[in-house]
A and B are shown apart, each in its own frame.
Chain A
Amino acid sequence: MADEMMEEGGTIKKFMYLNRKAPYGTVYALESLEVVLIGAAFEQDVSLVFMDDGVYQIKKDQDTAGTEMKNFSKTYRALEMYDVEKLYVEKESMETRGLTEEDFLVDVEVLTSEQIQDLMEDQDVLLSF
């Protein structure tokens, strides 16, 4: 796929989506997810970072029957089908909220803020939600 892109004159860039909002109180989380899915069609090198209240986006056991809101949490599990497999959680944000790696509905790599700094510096494009 990469070769095909190169033949067409395309280059693969590193995209980071920085998710910092809780999933239901505002529309940011859902909008981010939709942009990630659209962007996945362009076969770029995508990383998703969850920090601050964004870590709540991937909390297990979300059940929206009572509020009749759209439960988009399962969509995070579908990301790997779109080759979006680099999911990171900031350790400090997770711990501030009493969460552990086992509380998430997808496999994530937990990074310290220092490691996120390096990851961020390594990107070509930053998208913040």
Chain B
Amino acid sequence: MILHTVNKSPFQNDSLAGCLRVAKEGSAILFIEDGVYAATKGTAVSASIEEALKTHKVYALTPDLETRGVQDRVIDGVELVDYAGFVNLAAEYSAVQSWL
């Protein structure tokens, strides 16, 4: 299965939307850099992440959440990883698709 990474804000472009359309059930989605805003509660895209959580593993990179001051508002079910965890995910999945 593929690891999808999203590094853009969901309000900046349609990377998240594209990712969610084609990420197969069982694949993983990792939010990094400005992508981490998608993993926060109460936004216009929160419902789509909650939906994705039913069929995908969803991760967010802790240092990027902390840098942006949103570490305390992550959607329930999204798993937090550090840089070592990011490396482990990249190794664990068969390939990485970067949504830019």
Contact = CB atoms under 8 A, between A and B. Distances in A.
Interface of A: 21-25, 52-53, 56, 59-67, 69, 71, 73, 96-98
A63 B66 contact: yes
Contacts of A22: 9, 12, 34, 37, 68
B12 A63 contact: no
B33 A66 contact: no
Contacts of B68: 22-24, 56, 59, 62
Contacts of B8: 25
Interface in B29-66: 33-34, 37, 40-44, 46, 62-64, 66
B67 interface: yes
Q: Which of B41, B46, B69, B73 has the largest number of chain A CB atoms within 10 A?
A: B69
A60 B43 CA distance: 17
Interface of B: 7-9, 11-12, 33-34, 37, 40-44, 46, 62-64, 66-73, 82
Given A98-B40, A98-B42, A98-B46, A24 B66 contact: no
Given A22-B37, A61-B71, A64-B67, A97 B11 contact: yes
Given A61-B72, A63-B67, 8 more contacts: A22-B12, A25-B9, A53-B11, A53-B34, A59-B70, A61-B69, A63-B71, A67-B64
B41 A98 contact: yes
Nearest to B43: A98
Contacts of B66: 62-67
Contacts of A52: 11
A75 to B, nearest CB: 14
Contact of B67 (A21, A53, A60, A67): A67
A67 B46 CA distance: 25
Contacts of A56: 9, 37, 68
A96 B44 contact: yes
B18 to A, nearest CB: 17
Nearest to B73: A98
A56 B43 CA distance: 13
Contacts of A23: 68
